[in-house]
């Protein structure tokens, strides 16, 4: 029978509850336990799929096609836990279910209320997660204690502890100790208030983790323990990490967080903790080669780092494994449109065009793809980035100047990117996309094959538009190769230009599957290509395209 850990946060938002939950999952997996992690989000949207990336950051997609909160990306990067639709629920999704059931007469004439009906539904989401043969379920509660929105979740997890038994359920609370520079002190008062707020609801945290800029003295920990009524050995410090978020599992393990959790939940570890892979990773990060490469990201949600979170992480993972520091040059596509690509792209080692929706900045991205193609700069197009590469190639190489996507110009003369089915009558904007993992068959001998090393792969999708197969012949005749095809639908999933040192477009999102200790092959190859270009520019010598490609792929 599974045990449960609920993670709440107080004082301020953006404390890193997601990271802490993920790191905790990592520690428990390192003890041989099967761990599941889920997030309960207090907003009313049924899922984040309809939110602007500016509001909410990237939408993280699971294999089974759920559009979820970006914290799930942390869960996957830190653990091997199976993520799916049970891993993320929102207030909206829970009310949606309850209201539907009410309409179907599922409540037998009763008055439907927050307690017990909404809280019962919340508890059911947690119990469902545990049905997946897990030893531990970690449930992160989004929002901050004290918010109106998260109250039903907190009430539900309080009831959960009562019903399941206190030895099977524990509560971890994460707070901030603000550091007042003028007096050189950290303050515990907001933490005390936050724990007080939880107690009002009936939750007494078993573990308190405080975030802090500076390491604090034992007397401060003692004060927190005393005032918050939490044993001293259950008060842990999460100081801002020195080098990388991937230090976090080690930081928590050094303080014995896993031992305390195992003891509190009476869980028997299946093995001694082994975090050697994480230790090696952190070692590598610290001793990274000073050689740095600059990768331009030409997109439309550039201002907000979280909007392309998984892409940045995947580049970071690839950089660590290549022993190169990846510097991101984030470029607003509209600026490239206005000022031309040279101004922004002449010094970069590689160009990446990420996913996106709508027509703003599209011509800037097309200009960036053209610049990369014509100047032999490694180009990586992800989802929209593939579509951009195809439009550019069709216009400038195949001489079809009206080539476009019907997303941007619905009645364009040459729709090289089009909708699979006419979906204008569909009003549920959340449900019209190709979502989740689809198979792709890769042609041997291509760059795509070099990246994956296998013919049959599965990657996650989130888009409506597709390459229009009607134009495949002309694209191929001019030197663009469809190197990955969906074997079921015949849709093109990957394109490349063999004449170019490194030019790849993928219709899916490989960034969702990259982990720090297992960097994704496409990102590794891309970063290697950038590094080779940089080194070649430093030490110019004769080379041809073929030898460039093979050296970039470590052959
Ligand atoms: N807007 C494009 C589509 O819907 C690309 C989506 C994306 O990049 N995720 O097909």
Cis peptide before 217 (omega within 30 of 0): no
DSSP H or E stretch at residue 293: strand 292-299
Yes or no: say if 324 and 289 are a contact pair by the CB < 8 Å rule.
Answer: yes
Residue 125 known to be catalytic: no
Listed by start position, the domains of the chain span 3-283, 288-538
- Please name the residues in contact with 527: beta carbons below 8 A apart, sequence gap of 6 or more: 293, 295, 315, 318, 319, 322, 324, 326, 350
384 CB near ligand 1 (under 6 Å): yes
**Tally of CB atoms within 10 A around 148:** 8
Regarding pTM above 0.75, the answer is yes
Instruction: In whole angstroms, give the CA distance from residue 358 to residue 547.
Output: 39
Q: Is 463 touching ligand 1 by the criterion CB < 6 Å?
A: yes
In DSSP terms, which residues pair with 468 in a beta bridge? none
Catalytic annotation on 398?
no
Contact assessment for residue 307 and residue 57, using Cβ atoms and an 8 Å cutoff: yes
Residue 465 beta carbon below 6 angstroms from any ligand 1 atom: yes
Q: What is the pLDDT of residue 421?
A: 57
Whether residue 447 is predicted with pLDDT greater than 60 in this model: the reply is yes
| Residue 2 exposed, middle or buried by CB count within 10 Å (0-12, 13-18, 19+) | buried
Task: Check: CB of residue 309 under 8 Å from CB of residue 70.
Answer: yes
383 among known catalytic residues: yes
User: Same topology for domains 3-283 and 288-538, yes or no?
Assistant: yes
Ligand 1 mutation pick, 463, 507, 509, max ligand atoms within 8 A of CB = 463
- The tokens of 489 are what? 């639908």
Nearest by Cα to 295 from 308, 278, 280, 281: 308
357 lines ligand 1 (CB under 6 A): yes
Report CA(103)–ligand 1 centroid distance (Å): 35
pLDDT of 552 > 50? The answer is no
* 434 Cα–ligand 1 center, Å: 10
297, 352 Cβ separation under 8 angstroms: yes
Q: Which of 383, 398, 440, 451 is catalytic?
A: 383
462 lines ligand 1 (CB under 6 A): yes
Could you tell which of 353, 387, 406, 433 is best to mutate to test the pocket of ligand 1, judged by most ligand atoms within 8 Å of the CB? 387
Domain over 288-538 is classified CATH 1.10.10.60: no
Question: Quick one: DSSP state of residue 496?
Answer: E
Q: How far apart are CA 502 and CA 509, in angstroms?
A: 18
Index of the ligand 1 atom closest to the CA of residue 382: 8
- Mean pLDDT on 364-381: 97
The residue-averaged pLDDT of 514-519 equals 95
Residue 427 has pLDDT above 50, yes or no: no
CATH among 3.40.640.10, 3.30.450.40, 3.40.50.300, 3.20.20.70 for 3-283: 3.40.50.300
How many angstroms does the Cα of residue 183 sit away from the middle of ligand 1?
51
CB 130 within 8 A of CB 4: yes
Ligand 1 atom 6: the closest Cα is on which residue? 463
Candidate list 29, 67, 511, 552, residue with the active-site label: 511
Distance 373 CA to ligand 1 centre (A): 21
* pLDDT for the residue numbered 31: 96
pLDDT digits (tens, 9 = 90+) for 11-62: 888 889 999 999 999 999 999 999 999 999 999 988 888 888 777 889 999 9
On the question of pLDDT at 540 being above 80, the answer is no
Q: For residue 550, what pLDDT band results from cuts at 50, 70 and 90?
A: very low
Distances (CA, A) of 298 to 116, 345, 354, 532: 49, 10, 7, 21
Give whole-number Cα distances, 379 to 219, 345, 526, 529, in Å: 54, 12, 8, 9
- What does the block give as tokens for 243? 């080098």
* 290 has pLDDT over 50: yes
pLDDT for 387 equals 98
Q: For ligand 1, say whether the CB of 143 is within 6 Å of any of its atoms.
A: no
Q: Which residue, chain included where needed, has tokens 């309960």?
A: 40
* Closest residue to atom 1 of ligand 1, CA basis: 357
What is the Cα–Cα distance from 42 to 122, expressed in whole angstroms?
Answer: 11
Q: What is the pLDDT of residues 248-289, one digit of tens each?
A: 999 999 999 999 999 999 999 999 999 999 999 999 988 876
**Coil, strand, or helix at residue 169?**
strand
- For residue 530 the two structure tokens come to 């950038």
Whether residue 441 contacts residue 484, with contact meaning beta carbons closer than 8 Å, is answered with yes
Q: Is 407 in the pocket of ligand 1 (CB under 6 A)?
A: yes
* Selected catalytic residue, list 29, 509, 520, 552: 509
The alpha carbons of the chain give a radius of gyration, in whole angstroms, of: 25
Bridge partner list, 438: 459
Q: Which spans in 151-188 are helix H?
A: 151-164
How much is the pLDDT for 542? 54
Confidence of residue 302 (pLDDT cuts 50, 70, 90): confident
Decide whether any atom of ligand 1 lies within 6 Å of the 355 Cβ. Answer: yes
> Ligand 1 atom 5: the closest Cα is on which residue?
384
């Amino acid at each position: 029978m599974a045990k449960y850990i609920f993670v709440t946060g107080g004082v301020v938002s953006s404390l890193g509850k997601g990271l802490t939950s993920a790191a905790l999952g990592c520690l428990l997996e390192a003890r041989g336990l099967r761990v599941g992690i889920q997030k309960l989000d207090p907003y009313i949207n049924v899922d984040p799929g309809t939110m602007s990336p500016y509001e909410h950051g990237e939408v993280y997609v699971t294999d089974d096609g759920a559009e979820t909160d970006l914290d799930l990306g942390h869960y996957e990067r830190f653990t091997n836990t199976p993520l799916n639709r049970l891993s993320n629920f929102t207030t909206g999704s829970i009310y949606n279910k309850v209201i539907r059931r009410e309409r179907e007469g599922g409540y037998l004439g009763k008055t439907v209320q927050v307690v017990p009906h909404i809280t019962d539904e919340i508890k059911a989401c947690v119990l469902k997660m545990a049905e997946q043969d897990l030893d531990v379920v970690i449930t992160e509660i989004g929002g901050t204690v004290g918010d109106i929105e998260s109250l039903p979740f907190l009430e539900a997890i309080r009831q959960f502890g009562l019903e399941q038994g206190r030895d099977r359920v524990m509560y971890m609370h994460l707070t901030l100790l603000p550091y007042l520079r003028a007096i050189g002190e950290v303050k515990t008062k907001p933490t005390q208030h936050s724990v007080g707020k939880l107690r009002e609801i009936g939750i007494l945290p078993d573990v308190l983790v405080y975030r802090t800029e500076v390491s604090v003295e034992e007397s401060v920990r003692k004060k927190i323990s005393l005032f918050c009524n939490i044993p001293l050995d259950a008060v842990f410090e999460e100081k801002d990490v020195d080098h990388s978020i991937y230090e976090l599992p080690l930081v928590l393990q050094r303080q014995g967080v896993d031992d305390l959790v195992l003891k509190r939940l009476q869980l028997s570890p299946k093995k001694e903790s082994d975090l050697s892979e994480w230790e090696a990773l952190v070692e590598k990060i610290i001793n990274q080669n000073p050689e740095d490469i600059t990768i331009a990201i030409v997109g439309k949600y550039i201002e907000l780092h979280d909007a392309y979170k998984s892409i940045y992480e995947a580049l970071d993972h690839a950089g660590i494994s290549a022993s190169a520091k990846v510097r991101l040059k984030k470029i607003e596509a509209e600026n490239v449109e206005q000022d031309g690509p040279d101004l922004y792209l002449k010094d970069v080692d590689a160009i990446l065009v990420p996913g996106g929706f709508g027509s703003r900045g599209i011509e800037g991205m097309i200009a960036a793809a053209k610049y990369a193609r014509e100047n032999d700069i490694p180009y990586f197009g992800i989802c929209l980035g593939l579509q951009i590469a195809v439009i550019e190639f069709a216009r400038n190489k195949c001489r079809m100047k009206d080539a476009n996507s019907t997303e941007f110009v619905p009645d364009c003369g040459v729709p090289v990117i089009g909708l699979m089915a006419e979906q204008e009558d569909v009003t549920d904007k959340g449900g019209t996309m190709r979502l989740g993992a689809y198979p792709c068959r890769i042609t041997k001998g291509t760059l795509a094959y070099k990246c994956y090393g296998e013919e049959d792969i599965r990657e996650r999708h989130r888009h409506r538009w597709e390459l229009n197969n009607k134009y495949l012949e002309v694209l191929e005749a001019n030197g663009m190769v469809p190197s990955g095809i969906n074997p079921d639908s015949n849709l093109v999933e990957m394109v490349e230009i063999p004449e170019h040192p490194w030019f790849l477009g993928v219709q899916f999102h490989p960034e969702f599957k990259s982990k720090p200790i297992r960097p994704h092959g496409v990102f590794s190859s891309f970063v290697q290509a950038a590094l080779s270009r940089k080194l070649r520019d430093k030490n110019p010598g004769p080379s041809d395209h073929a030898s460039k490609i093979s050296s970039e792929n470590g052959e």
